């Protein structure tokens, strides 16, 4: 018979009374025990002891105040007591199992060893950590809210639901770990999440990751108080879920003739191959010739249950209608008819059998995943073949649609009906706005924030995951020292700086009505897997940037403090490394491109500059502002994108000057097909009419190295001139790239 039985059935008042009398009645007994055995926690009355304070907690708590009363030493094996009311036995059981197996490793009072707690015969001892869960214990009704008080006698936690108590335990573990001796300074915490949706997306299609690896990431998500895991289960490179309705999709669609990454490097298409003999589902298969893997339904159930025990909901994504090479290789009958364009990843929405296939898939997926949402993709569907396919054209005519964009919308609406019929809701990438948003859709805004802002203004729910802040496949430090990334530079500080409401408020202008913010469900970081070839690489890209997303999604508006966050993050990195996670080494961060921090000596500084490329003519002052571009390319004001046409840059120095060298910075980033110009020449002139050309040698670069690099291309001139011109891509116009600062000296 346990000394402290779970008191689920006691009324709140009864239990409070009982708790109070226990504390009074047995404080002496407990404290003398605690003083005698340091490992049990507690310190003598009046003794002033320092310890960790809640500003070490990540994500930052909403409110905390220091309190009198010294500190409390919390050590593993300390006793906890849980009083829970109005929650299911299963939830309580899972919570207790978590506490007992977590790094905090508390022991339920009286459960394991009555002798561990000195009691008077037949009476109960006080517990070091008291946790109360019950409806209406807190005024704050947000899911996950909790209160915690620490004094020299112990820790007291209250929450309306188990999620709140679970998050309090996360905070407690961090407080305990922040002090070598587990001392926690007396304090009061009131904490609750800013957003209900605090998510990460894992792309397990491009490169597969084992079930056990996903469970490991769920553990760290829980520490960060994140609560949504979006699994991108299908894409061009592999179908990762074994379904009874489509067994062929994993037998023939989950393995390739090597890593997708090798094909990027070699520029060759991937061939799908059949499941190799002896493959063990849920693991990554890679014998050097065949690469791939998938999860069985039981393994998916295990992931869902493991996540649920940690208050994380798993949301599946099945991509429709694009990103479907794997599907179309297995089911070529789903292609458009009379395909004119070489597009191999979009299904034909003119075919009924395509909808029948997805209906079966979605039904089975919805039975498997208890989540309210199913993500149905909807992004980057190239519609060119739809414009020429007789079946698509017939669909457009029959359904009185205007164009292929409305056909996309028709497709998403049909899928939404299937999902709604099962009592669930769709989430789609922001392209689902094209051709009209379906009725109940939630939009995931990834191409910046514009799609999300548009959807919110239409009273649709939105999850913000803008790629320029939250795409964790971008590099996080100086590209020369980083593994190959799918885009350039997105350091921790930029991720942290994202403030989701700003764009919405700005877009609404005078029409802004604060009540629309209820549609902003929350935030999500996306880890796309094209370049992520191993588990350690995956974790490296994820951490610590996921910490920043967790704090953005949890901590109150207006509480950002990057230096403080960075300090906490450095400590948290140490902690999670000890837990076996492979993180980016923030302590050795190079940061923004050092050469871009100080102005260069440049005769072109402030010169009048005109840029022509791809039919546009405009000024390009940023190319002569005296600063080299940073590592950031995309949406950067320091680099100019050169489309695949001739580019001409005219610079008027204002007067004739002695010139020795003329050049410019260019980007080479083969992983994104971003190249140096095919040809380049410098021209100089005294009158702006007669130009003397000086050819520029374009270096031959290694085809093996796909990393981002910046090169200066130019020529020695040693002449006098007022007008300078750079011309590129005149011979062959297929190159796409970026040009940065013009350098003239
Ligand atoms: C996406 O990054 N295509 C959603
Ligand atoms: Zn078609």
pLDDT digits (tens, 9 = 90+) for 193-210: 999 999 999 999 999 999
The domain boundary residue, chosen from 573, 588, 603: 588
Q: Residue 123 above 50 pLDDT?
A: no
Ligand 1 atom at shortest distance from the alpha carbon of 528: 2
Ion ligand 2: residues, CB within 5 A, are: 336, 348, 350, 389, 391-392
Is residue 557 located within the same domain as residue 678? no
Ligand 1 pocket check for 429: Cβ under 6 Å: yes
Span 530-577, pLDDT tens digits: 999 899 999 999 999 999 999 999 999 999 999 999 999 999 999 999
CATH of the domain at 331: 3.20.20.80
Beta bridge pairs of residue 471: 526
Q: Measure 364 CA to ligand 2 centroid, in angstroms.
A: 26
Is residue 247 located within the same domain as residue 168? no
Label each residue of 214-231 as H, E or C: HHHHHHHHHHCCCCEEEE
Is residue 253 located within the same domain as residue 177? no
Ligand 1 atom at shortest distance from the alpha carbon of 429: 4
CB 3 within 8 A of CB 26: no
In the set 323, 331, 375, 668, the catalytic residue is 323
Residue 511 falls inside a structural domain: yes
Q: How far apart are CA 287 and CA 202, in angstroms?
A: 24
The domain boundary residue, chosen from 191, 220, 245: 191
Kindly report the number of other CB atoms within 10 A of residue 616's CB atom. 9
The domain boundary residue, chosen from 157, 191, 225: 191
In the set 235, 482, 630, 646, the catalytic residue is 235
Label each residue of 338-383 as H, E or C: CCCCCCCCCCCCCCHHHHHHHHHHHHHHHHHCCCCEEEEECCCCCC
Measured over all CA atoms, what is the biggest interatomic distance in the chain, rounded to whole angstroms? 106
Give how far Cα 549 sits from Cα of 474, 532, 568, Å: 15, 20, 14
With cut-offs at 50, 70 and 90, classify the pLDDT of residue 118: very low
Q: Measure 206 CA to ligand 2 centroid, in angstroms.
A: 26
Is residue 325 located within the same domain as residue 417? yes
Is residue 694 located within the same domain as residue 719? yes
Ligand 1 pocket check for 406: Cβ under 6 Å: no
Of 41-50, 197-206, 376-385, 400-409, the least confident: 41-50
pLDDT at site 646: 84
With cut-offs at 50, 70 and 90, classify the pLDDT of residue 91: very high
Is residue 513 located within the same domain as residue 606? no
Q: Measure 299 CA to ligand 1 centroid, in angstroms.
A: 26
- Here the contacts of 24-30 (C-beta below 8 Å, separation 24 or greater) are 25/123, 26/119, 26/120, 26/123, 26/124, 26/125, 26/126, 27/126, 27/153, 29/118, 29/119, 29/120, 29/125, 29/126, 30/117, 30/125, 30/126, 30/128, 30/153
Ligand approaching nearest to the C-alpha of 341: 2
| 3-state class (DSSP) for residue 280 | coil
Is residue 208 located within the same domain as residue 163? no
Of 55-69, 447-461, 608-622, 697-711, the least confident: 697-711
CATH of the domain at 173: 3.30.379.10
Minimum CA distance residue for ligand 1 atom 3: 379
Residue 9 falls inside a structural domain: no
CB 74 within 8 A of CB 184: yes
Is residue 378 located within the same domain as residue 237? yes
Q: How far apart are CA 707 and CA 367, in angstroms?
A: 43
Segments forming the whole domain that contains residue 641:
594-744
Q: What pTM was estimated for this model as a whole?
A: 0.90
**String of b and e for 695-722 (b: at least 16 CB within 10 Å)?**
ebebeeeeeeebbbebeebbbebeeebb
At residue 37, what are phi and psi to the nearest 5 degrees?
-125, 100
CATH of the domain at 673: 2.60.120.260
Ligand approaching nearest to the C-alpha of 235: 1
Burial of 243 (0-12, 13-18, 19+ CB in 10 A): buried
Ligand 1 atom at shortest distance from the alpha carbon of 467: 2
Beta bridge pairs of residue 425: 373
Ligand 1 pocket check for 380: Cβ under 6 Å: yes
Q: Measure 386 CA to ligand 2 centroid, in angstroms.
A: 5
Q: How far apart are CA 726 and CA 190, in angstroms?
A: 61
CB 656 within 8 A of CB 723: no
For residue 380, indicate whether it is catalytic.
Answer: yes
Ligand 1 pocket check for 448: Cβ under 6 Å: no
Average pLDDT of the residues in 64-77: 91
Minimum CA distance residue for ligand 1 atom 2: 446
Span 496-520, pLDDT tens digits: 999 999 999 999 999 999 999 999 9
- Dihedral, CA atoms, 248, 251, 253, 256, nearest 10 degrees? -160
Higher pLDDT, 114 or 502: 502
In the set 7, 380, 403, 535, the catalytic residue is 380
pLDDT at site 126: 67
With cut-offs at 50, 70 and 90, classify the pLDDT of residue 707: confident
pLDDT at site 645: 80
Is residue 532 located within the same domain as residue 630? no
Q: How far apart are CA 430 and CA 379, in angstroms?
A: 7
CB 260 within 8 A of CB 207: yes
Residue 660 falls inside a structural domain: yes
Per the prediction, the chain carries an average pLDDT of 90
Total domain count for the chain? 3
Q: Residue 269 above 90 pLDDT?
A: no
Span 620-658, pLDDT tens digits: 999 999 999 999 887 788 999 888 788 899 999 999 999
**String of b and e for 634-643 (b: at least 16 CB within 10 Å)?**
bebebbbbbe
Ligand 1 atom at shortest distance from the alpha carbon of 377: 4
Is residue 76 located within the same domain as residue 177? yes
For residue 263, indicate whether it is catalytic.
Answer: no
Q: Measure 355 CA to ligand 2 centroid, in angstroms.
A: 12
Q: Measure 235 CA to ligand 1 centroid, in angstroms.
A: 11
Residue 408 falls inside a structural domain: yes
Task: Report CA Rg, the chain.
Answer: 30
| 3-state class (DSSP) for residue 627 | coil
Ligand approaching nearest to the C-alpha of 352: 2
At residue 409, what are phi and psi to the nearest 5 degrees?
-65, -40
Is residue 116 located within the same domain as residue 245? no
Residue 1 falls inside a structural domain: no
For residue 460, indicate whether it is catalytic.
Answer: no
Residue 13 falls inside a structural domain: no
At residue 190, what are phi and psi to the nearest 5 degrees?
-125, 120
Is residue 296 located within the same domain as residue 180? no
Residue 6 falls inside a structural domain: no
Q: Measure 270 CA to ligand 2 centroid, in angstroms.
A: 24
- According to DSSP, residue 241 is labeled B
With cut-offs at 50, 70 and 90, classify the pLDDT of residue 48: low
Ligand 1 atom at shortest distance from the alpha carbon of 380: 3
Residue 3 falls inside a structural domain: no
| 3-state class (DSSP) for residue 568 | helix
Beta bridge pairs of residue 235: 238
């Amino acid at each position: 018979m346990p000394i402290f039985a779970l008191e689920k059935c006691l009324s709140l008042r009864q239990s409070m009374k009982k708790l109070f009398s226990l504390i009074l009645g047995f404080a002496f007994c407990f404290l003398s025990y605690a003083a005698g055995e340091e490992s049990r926690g507690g310190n003598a009355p009046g003794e002033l002891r320092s310890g960790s304070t809640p500003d070490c907690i990540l994500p930052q708590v909403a409110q905390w105040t220091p309190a009198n009363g010294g500190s409390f030493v919390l050590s593993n094996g300390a006793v906890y007591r849980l009083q829970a009311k109005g929650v299911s036995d299963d939830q309580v059981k899972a919570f207790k199992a978590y506490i007992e197996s977590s790094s905090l490793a508390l022991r339920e009072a009286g459960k394991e060893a009555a002798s561990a707690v000195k009691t008077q015969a037949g009476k109960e001892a006080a517990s070091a950590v008291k946790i109360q869960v019950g409806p209406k214990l807190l005024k704050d009704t947000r899911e996950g809210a909790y209160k915690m008080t620490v004094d020299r006698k112990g820790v007291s936690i209250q929450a309306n639901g188990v999620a709140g108590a679970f998050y309090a335990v996360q905070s407690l573990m961090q407080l305990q770990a922040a002090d070598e001796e587990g001392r926690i300074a007396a304090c009061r915490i009131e904490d609750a999440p800013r957003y209900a949706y605090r998510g990460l997306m894992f792309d397990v299609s491009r490169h597969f990751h084992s079930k056990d690896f996903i469970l490991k990431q769920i553990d760290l998500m829980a520490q960060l108080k994140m609560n949504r895991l979006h699994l991108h289960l299908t894409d061009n490179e592999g179908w990762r879920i074994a379904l009874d309705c489509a067994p062929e999709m994993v037998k023939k669609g989950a393995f390739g003739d090597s890593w997708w990454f090798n094909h990027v490097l070699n520029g060759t298409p991937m061939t799908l191959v059949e499941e190799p003999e002896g493959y063990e589902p849920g693991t990554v298969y890679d014998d050097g010739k065949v690469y791939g893997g998938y999860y069985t339904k039981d393994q998916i159930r295990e992931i869902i249950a493991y996540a649920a025990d940690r208050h994380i909901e798993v949301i599946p994504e099945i991509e429709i209608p694009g990103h479907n090479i794997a599907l179309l290789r297995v089911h070529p009958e789903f292609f458009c008819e009379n395909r004119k364009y070489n597009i191999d990843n979009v299904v034909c929405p003119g075919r009924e059998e395509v909808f029948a296939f997805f209906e079966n898939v979605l039904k089975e997926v919805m039975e498997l995943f208890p989540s309210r949402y199913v993500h149905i993709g909807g992004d980057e569907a190239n519609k060119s073949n739809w414009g020429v396919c007789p079946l698509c054209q017939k669909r457009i005519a029959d359904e009185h649609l205007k164009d292929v964009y409305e056909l996309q919308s028709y497709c998403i609406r049909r899928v939404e009906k299937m999902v709604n019929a099962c009592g669930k809701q769709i989430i789609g990438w922001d392209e689902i706005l094209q051709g009209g948003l379906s009725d109940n859709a939630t939009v995931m805004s990834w191409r910046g924030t514009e799609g999300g802002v548009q959807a919110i203004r239409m009273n649709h729910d939105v999850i913000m995951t803008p790629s320029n802040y939250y795409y964790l496949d971008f590099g996080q430090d100086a590209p020369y020292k980083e593994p190959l990334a799918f885009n350039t530079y997105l350091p921790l500080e930029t991720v942290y700086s994202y403030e989701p409401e700003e764009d919405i408020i700005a877009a609404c202008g005078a029409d802004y009505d604060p009540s629309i913010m209820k549609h902003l469900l929350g935030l999500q970081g996306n880890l796309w897997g094209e370049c992520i070839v191993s588990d350690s690489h995956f974790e490296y890209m994820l951490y610590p940037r996921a910490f920043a997303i967790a704090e953005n999604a949890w901590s109150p508006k207006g509480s950002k403090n990057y230096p403080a966050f960075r300090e906490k993050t450095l400590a948290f990195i140490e902690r999670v490394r000890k837990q076996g996670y492979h993180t980016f080494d923030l302590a050795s961060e190079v940061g923004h491109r050092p050469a871009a921090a100080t102005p260069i000596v440049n005769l072109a500084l402030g010169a009048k500059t005109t840029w022509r490329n791809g039919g546009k003519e405009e000024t390009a002052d940023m190319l002569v502002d005296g600063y080299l571009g940073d590592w950031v390319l995309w949406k950067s004001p320091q680099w100019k994108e050169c489309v695949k046409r001739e580019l001409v840059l005219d610079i008027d120095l204002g007067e004739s000057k002695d010139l020795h060298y003329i050049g410019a910075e260019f980007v080479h980033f083969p992983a994104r097909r971003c190249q140096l110009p095919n040809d380049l020449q410098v021209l100089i002139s005294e009158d702006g009419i007669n130009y003397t050309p000086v050819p520029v040698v374009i270096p031959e670069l290694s085809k093996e190295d796909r990393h981002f690099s910046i090169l200066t291309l130019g020529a020695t001139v040693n002449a006098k001139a007022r007008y300078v011109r750079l011309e590129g891509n005149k011979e062959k116009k297929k190159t796409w790239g970026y040009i940065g600062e013009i350098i003239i000296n």
